[in-house]
Chain A
Amino acid sequence: MIRVQREDFDLGAELGALTAGNPKVGGLAVFVGLVRDLSGGSEVGAMTLEHYPGMTERMLERIEAEAQERWPLEASLVIHRYGRLEPGDQIVLVATASAHREAAFEACAFLIDWLKTKAPFWKLEETAQGSRWVEARDSDDRAAARWTAPKP
């Protein structure tokens, strides 16, 4: 399941609901992205996440479908927030449940790596020097590319 929302999410409640009633789940891997107070050496007071409604959901659904095709998942959940967020706030949740940990870990890493390069979100940081759009990182592209490299 994917959700794009302005509101915060309750981590415990979301994870509980994801695996409730499914005793086939033996492992649940979770990634939670938080707003940091430091970026490129500047203190960040807050950030605003903009997105492309419609395309965002479409891309997240596709990435999730690909993860479910590649790994034997019992359940998966991606929640991504938009709007104004402050340091310490939750931005994104990726959770993957499987019979065993390996599939859960790998699918979780795949989802967050791909989301960071494919889902149309942009961060505007507020610093003492003014507002600035965060630039994409080459390291994010490399992290995503490892999932397309041929297996040894």
Chain B
Amino acid sequence: MKLLYFAWLKTRTGVGEEEVTPPPEVTTVRELLDWIRSRGGGYAEALSDLSVIKVAINQEFARPDDPVSPGDEVALFPPVTGG
């Protein structure tokens, strides 16, 4: 699974992009975020407040209960501020 981090999520995790293999019991967005946070350090800090984190799966906005699969591209970012 490919993870992408943008804006302050990239700054706080110290990672822009990484390949990960979460345990098989991680099947939803919510479980994935919990797993990323459990890796500690910058991940725990960046994901301390999940209410300010948006998730996109394969470039489509996703909700906490949406399923995630090993081949997905999953992006984590704060609410958007373009325009």
Binding site for B on A (CB under 8 A): 33, 49-52, 54-55, 58, 80, 91-92, 112, 115-124, 133-136, 140
Contact = CB atoms under 8 A, between A and B. Distances in A.
Interface residues of B, number: 16
Contacts of A121: 80-83
Contacts, number: 69
B61, B78, B83 pick with most chain A CB within 10 angstroms: B83
A20 B78 CA distance: 40
Nearest to B11: A133
Interface of B: 4, 6-8, 56, 59-61, 75, 77-83
Given A58-B59, A116-B82, A135-B79, 16 more contacts: A52-B56, A52-B75, A52-B77, A54-B59, A55-B56, A92-B82, A112-B83, A116-B80, A116-B81, A118-B61, A119-B80, A119-B82, A120-B6, A122-B81, A135-B78, A136-B78
